[in-house]
Amino acid sequence: MQKLFFIFMMLSVFSCKKKTQDDIGLPLSETNWALHFKNNSTFTYFAESDLYFKANKEVNNYRNADTVSGAWKSFNNNVTITFNNGDIYNGTAITADSIAGSLTASGNNGTWYAIKQ
């Protein structure tokens, strides 16, 4: 009887799924967002581009002249986007369809926000 109980307990431990960061972050997979950003606080305007968050944790930033790719991760209401060119965007969900935060790009600090499309 003790062996059976021990086997049952071991099976229940191994069958439990741990929550991962993917389970408790923002639901960004396979979504499009309108990105507004300025890389310098002295700028009076926001540049615009489009973000596409892929399910495999990759992200594309479709800008006017080119596309920059990178990776994204999310935990709770926060998201970090690290682009292959070194730009890093950190943000927090404001509503279910808006995110805002700070960025570092080309050695400058700025701000950004995105609206879900």
- The whole-number pLDDT of residue 4 equals 40
pLDDT in tens, 69-93: 999 999 999 999 999 999 999 999 9
- The whole-number pLDDT of residue 24 equals 75
pLDDT in tens, 22-64: 457 999 999 999 999 999 888 999 999 999 999 999 999 999 9
Burial of 87 (0-12, 13-18, 19+ CB in 10 A): buried
- The whole-number pLDDT of residue 10 equals 43
- Whether residue 19 has pLDDT greater than 50: no
Closest-CA residue to 98 (of 87, 112, 81): 112
Instruction: Give CA 111 to chain center in angstroms.
Output: 16
Strand locations in the chain (E):
31-38, 47-53, 58-62, 67-75, 78-83, 88-95, 98-105, 108-116
Q: Which residues pair with 51 in a beta bridge?
A: 33, 61
